[in-house]
Structure 1
Amino acid sequence: MSDADVELPESIELAWGLRERPGKGPRRSLTMQQVVAAGIRVAEADGLAAVSMNRVAGELGVGTMSLYRYVSAKTDLLELMADTGYGDPPAPRGPDEGWRPALARWAHANVAAIHRHPWIRQIPIGGPPMGPNGVRWMEQGLAALRGTGLRGVERLSTILLVSGYARYWATLTADLTEAAAREQLSPDEVGARYWQQLERLTRNGPYPAVRELLADAEDELDEELDAEWRFGLDRILDGVEALIRSRTATR
């Protein structure tokens, strides 16, 4: 199949620099980067719900219809905003770095990217990565698993699993941070209050497992959220490591 047979959305072609301007009509007065940057400014200032074609056009001082020369729909704009918001992937796996620390570093960078721009978590995932940054992130994740003996599809499934956990964790912690801010408390204070409230609610009644948890883990429940993140990530990587060992044993 030749390149001419592969259709790409116009906004993706522009993002990759594969299309400079339309063949017909007046010359573009903006760049794709300017349109996306304006959308990000609106999201940073007033939240993702405030992003509309009309609002972004106003930010740029152009008519709303002008934006459709860059993106065919608001969903395209949001996907490009997310791609830009993620930014550069982490540094590639070093020659002396094992796959596990490299993939853990890649996962942590996923969380950090969403924490830098919390509105990213509110943008639905519309399909596999097609933006320039998204493809570069995928490249780095796959490269971290090179030489492990996993097949290509298994490497892809692994980074999907890890990035899914990272997105879930980033969403959870961002939600907790925003909720705590509304109550003018720290996330740790909100957590401590929750365990106190849960203890009171389950002191009596059919909740023996909850009471056992509260009794056995009294000194551990208030640990920092980072410890919870590491626990979950380590269990995922333990499973991947077991699969890699089984491949090695088979060979």
Structure 2
Amino acid sequence: MAADDGGGTGLPASLEAAWGLRERPSKGPKRGLSVDRIVATGIAVADSEGIGAVSMGRVAKELGVSTMSLYRYVSAKDELYVLMQDTATGPPPVRPASAVGWRAGLAWWAREQRALFRRNLWLLRIPVSSPPATPHGLAWMERGLEVLDGSGLDGGRRISVMMLVGGYVRNEVSLMSDLDAAMRAEGLTPDEVMRRYARTVGALTSADPDRYPELRRLLATGALGEADAGDAEFEFGLERVLDGVAVLVGRQSES
């Protein structure tokens, strides 16, 4: 992202165009090249092959133009990533009437982010190099601040809470997607994976059970060989994170 000289947004030209702060390039090749087409093509490649397959050269090849022609619209691959991210993210949905209060609102915000990442897993592979500065990125940030209205937390604490919850969401989706990919590669179901894992742990700890008393007790219950159903693990973790935020909110109200 471009450095701010103190008199502007500090954003690259293409991102300023996304905000409507400057006109998009209007004269291009006869094929009708545009920022929107470049971004859409990059997303299509990422959807089918992952973000690692996206490069200026690859996008140009898909569009049937020279790589240099793309630089009239997007100055670098990292800039293209940011534009792809904003387009794929889209605007946040409207908070439902059922999400009353900061806790229900924050849980809704977290679940919506999780659904977004699960639809576009390649988003998780884009390095986070700066705070949100795109139209949709700031819209999601605004929605997060909005759901925390009434919590009694100041602006700094709200940002910290959003980072905590957002980090939990990203980590959970990333971990689950990696595990799912590994299971698909082996042709196994979650139950089969956990049963195999339990057998492995059982075999490794049986020779010296006194060294692993807690693992042996856990194996005896059968819990280690059971896969969590549906979204149970995510919901369990989210509720524990929100429990911690509730303690913070309670302390704030007492001060």
Q: What's the TM-score, normalizing by structure 2?
A: 0.88
Answer yes or no: is the 8 Å Cα contact 1:188–1:224 preserved in 2.
no
Counterpart in the other structure of 1:27: 27
For 2:165, which of 162, 165, 170 is the aligned residue? 162
4-13 vs 177-186, which moves further: 4-13
Identify if the C-alpha distance between structure 1 residues 219 and 181 changes in structure 2 by more than 3 Å, giving closer, same or farther: closer
Deviations 1:18-60 (A, max 9, x none): 22135xxx82443322211100111112222211111101222
Q: Could you tell me how far apart the structure 1 residues matched to 2:85 and 2:16 are?
A: 16
The DSSP-based 3-state class of the residue aligned with 2:57 is: helix
Deviations 1:168-223 (A, max 9, x none): 00101111111111111223322332222222222233222322332346388432
For 2:236, which of 218, 231, 240 is the aligned residue? 231
116-125 vs 156-165, which moves further: 116-125
CA RMSD, 1 decimal? 2.4
Q: Does 1:151 align with 2:140?
A: no
Identify if the C-alpha distance between structure 1 residues 153 and 217 changes in structure 2 by more than 3 Å, giving closer, same or farther: farther
Aligned residues: 247
Counterpart in the other structure of 1:68: 71
Counterpart in the other structure of 1:213: 218
Q: Could you tell me how far apart the structure 1 residues matched to 2:59 and 2:18 are?
A: 18
Identify if the C-alpha distance between structure 1 residues 95 and 232 changes in structure 2 by more than 3 Å, giving closer, same or farther: closer
Q: Could you tell me how far apart the structure 2 residues matched to 1:133 and 1:189 are?
A: 40
Gaps of 5+ in 2: none
Which letter does structure 2 place at the counterpart of 1:9? P
Q: Could you tell me how far apart the structure 2 residues matched to 1:10 and 1:87 are?
A: 20
Counterpart in the other structure of 1:249: 254
Which letter does structure 2 place at the counterpart of 1:27? K
Residues 114-133 of structure 1 correspond to what in structure 2 (within 5 A)?
A: 114-133=117-136
Answer yes or no: is the 8 Å Cα contact 2:191–2:225 preserved in 1.
no
Q: What's the TM-score, normalizing by structure 1?
A: 0.89
